[in-house]
Chains A and B, each alone.
Chain A
Amino acid sequence: MRIQVHPILEFKKGKKISFTYDGITVEGYEGEPIAAALHAAGVRVLSHSRNFKRPRGFWCAIGNCSSCNMRVNGIPNVRTCVEPLQDGMTVETQQGRGVIGGVPGE
C-alpha cells in the first residue's frame, strides 16, 4: 500500500523496476529500501528468529536491529530496511545465520 496523495509531501520516486522475492516477481521503485518495496507489496514477514523460528518483520528502519536481514543476490544478512532496491535483484528469506559465498537458497 502506497500513499497516493499527501497534504505536505511529494514523493520523489525512482524508476519503476522489478525484482524477485522468494521466486515471485515484485515491482518497486529504484533506490527505495528493499523492505519498503516489500511492505508496499504486502510482505510483512522478512525473517525468522534463529532458535524458535518466530516470524520477524521491519523494526528500526535505520539498519540497527537485524530484524529485516535477508539474502540479497546470494549475500546473507543484508539489512533490507536500508539497502537500496535495484532492478533485477534476487531477494530471499534467509534460513539460519546464512553462509557467505554459499549456494543460493541455502
Chain B
Amino acid sequence: MNKAEILVIGSGPAGLKASLSAADQGAGVTLVERDPFLGGQLVKQTHMFFGSKEQYASERGFKIAEKLTAAAEEHPGVRVLKGAAALGYYDDNVVTLELKGRVLPVSYDAMIMATGAQENTLMFPNCDLPGIYGAGAVQTLMNVYGVLPGKRVAMLGAGNIGVIVSYQLLQAGVEVPAIIEAAPEIGAYHVHASKVRRMGVPIYTSQTVVSAHGSDALEKIIMVELDDSWQPVPDTERELDVDVLCIAVGLTPLTEILFQAGCEIAYIPELGGHVPRRSAVMETSVANIYIAGDVSGIEEASAAMVEGTIAGLTAAFNLGYGRDSYEQKIAAANLELDALRKGPTGEKIRTGLQNLKKTGEVRQ
C-alpha cells in the first residue's frame, strides 16, 4: 500500500499552503490533485488580491498559483500526484485515488482535506438549457482556455464572483447587458461593482430571472422585479436576448469524503451549507483529519491560504514536527485571519463561524 505521512487532497490555495507549511516543518507530504495542474481555482483568477503581503496582495490569482505551484513541485518534502481524484474513505486511515484509470489506495497518518466547493444552481423553468453555465465555469473556459462563452452574457448574482466575472467577460470582448441581483443590495466589494458600472454594465437589484427560453440552447431570459418580501411584482416582466446566462448564486463545500469518514457536520448557511465541525486549528471531530479553505466554509482565497497554513502546521505538530515554532506561527496566522475577516465584508463569515462554534467545542 502507498503510504503518505500527511495526505493533502486538493491543490487550490488552501491545499498548496497546507502542503508547504507542513513540509517546511519537516513532515513528508503527498499532495493529490484531480486536475492535470496544481492551483485549483486560482489559475483562472486575473484580478488582483486584497489583504496583506502574506496573502500576496496586489498580485493576480493566476500568478499566485504559479508561485505556489513551483514552490510545491520543487519542495523535497512534497510528493505531487496530479490527475488523481480522491474516490472514497476507508477504515484505518485509507483513501482511494483514481490515477490513470487505476484505483490506488493510500494510507496516511494525517489527512488535510482542501477539496474546495462547487457552484450552486438556481431553479426556474428551463434552467437546464445549454448556455446557462456556472459563472466560475465560464471564468475557466475564458481565462484558462481562451474560449468565449457566447456573444451576449447576462450575470445572475452581484456578489464578488458575479461582478468579477462580468468584468472579465468585458475584458474578453463579450457584451454584458445586465447583472441581476435578487437582494436589494450589491454583495460584491464596491471597488469591483463601481468598475463594471463605469464600463456601462447595469446592475439590477431586487430583480431575478423567472424563466429561460430557447429551442436547443439559450436565446432569451425573462426578468422580473421583486418586492420587499422577494415576491415577483406583477406586470414587471421583461425579456432580455442573451445566448449565455451565468449563475453566480453561491457555492457549496465539497464535503463528501468528510461525511464518509464520519466527521461531525453542521448546517451553517453563512458558511455555504453543510460544513465539518472543527477546532480553532482546523482539526475535525475525527482525529488526524483536518480541513482548510472553502470545504470548511465559503470564503476568499486569501483566507483559504491562511487556513491551509494553520492546518498544515497543526497536522505536522501533532506528528511531532516543528514543536518549537508552532505556537508562534499559529498566533501570526490567527492575526492574519482576524485582519481578513474584519469590517462589514467579513460579517457573514464571522456570523457563520460563531454559529458553528455554538454547536459545541471540537477537541481541545
Q: Which residues of A contact B (CB under 8 A)?
A: 1-3, 6-9, 11, 13, 31-33, 36, 39-40, 44-46, 49, 54-65, 81-82, 84
User: Is the CB–CB distance between B149 and A39 below 8 Å?
Assistant: yes
A54 to B150, CA, bound (A): 21
Complex interface: chain A residues within 8 A of B141 (CB): 36, 39, 58, 61
In the assembled complex, the Cα of A62 lies from the Cα of B216 at a distance in Å of: 23
Asked whether B171 lies within 8 Å of A82 as measured between CB atoms, the reply is no
Chain A residues in 8 Å Cβ range of B150: 1
Per the bound structure, the CA–CA distance linking A75 and B304 in Å amounts to 37
Closest Cβ of chain A to B127, distance in Å, is 10
**B146: A residues at CB distance < 8 A:** 2-3, 6, 9, 11, 13
**Contact between A44 and B216, CB atoms less than 8 A apart:** yes
Interface size class of B (residues with CB under 8 A): 35 or more
**8 nearest A-B residue pairs (beta carbon):** A57-B130, A61-B137, A11-B146, A1-B148, A44-B130, A36-B145, A61-B140, A44-B217
B348 within 8 A of A: no
Q: Is chain A's interface secondary structure helix, strand, loop, or mixed overall?
A: loop
How many A-B contacts are there with CB distance less than 8 Å? Answer: 95
Least Cβ–Cβ distance between B130 and chain A, in angstroms = 3
Q: CA A60 – CA B252 in complex, angstroms?
A: 12
Q: Complex Cα distance A54/B129, Å? A: 8
Q: Could you tell me the distance between the alpha carbons of A8 and B146 in the complex, rounded to whole angstroms?
A: 12
Tell me the residues in window 53-89 of chain B with beta carbons closer than 8 Å to chain A beta carbons.
60, 62, 85
Contact across chains for A44 and B131 when beta carbons are under 8 A apart: yes
Residue among A9, A33, A40, A62 making CB contact with B118, cutoff 8 Å: A62
Q: Contact flags (1/0) for B110-147 with A, using CB distance below 8 Å?
A: 00000000110100000011111110111011110111
Q: Which residues of B in the span 140-195 have a Cβ within 8 Å of any Cβ on A?
A: 140-143, 145-151, 171-173
Query: Given A59-B133, A59-B134, 6 more contacts at CB 8 Å?
Result: A1-B151, A9-B146, A58-B141, A60-B119, A62-B137, A62-B140
Cβ-defined contact, A61 with B217, below 8 A: no
**Residues in B whose Cβ lies below 8 Å from that of A9:** 46, 62, 143, 146
Q: A9 CA to B148 CA in the complex, in Å?
A: 14
Query: What are 9 sample pairs from A and B whose C-beta atoms fall under 8 A apart?
Result: A2-B147, A44-B131, A45-B130, A56-B128, A56-B130, A60-B137, A61-B141, A63-B34, A63-B85
With a CB–CB cut-off of 8 A, which chain A residues contact B138? 61
Cβ–Cβ contact A2 & B35, under 8 A: no
Task: State whether A39 and B131 are in contact (beta carbons under 8 Å apart), knowing that A44-B216, A61-B136 are contacts in the complex.
Answer: no
Q: Are A33 and B145 in contact (CB under 8 A)?
A: yes
B216 A55 Cβ-Cβ under 8 A: yes
A54 shortest CB reach to chain B, Å: 6
In the bound assembly, the distance between CA atoms of A81 and B144 in angstroms comes to 12
From known contacts A8-B46, A82-B35, infer whether A57 and B145 are also in contact, taking CB-CB under 8 Å.
Answer: no
Residues of A within 8 A of B216 (CB): 44-45, 55
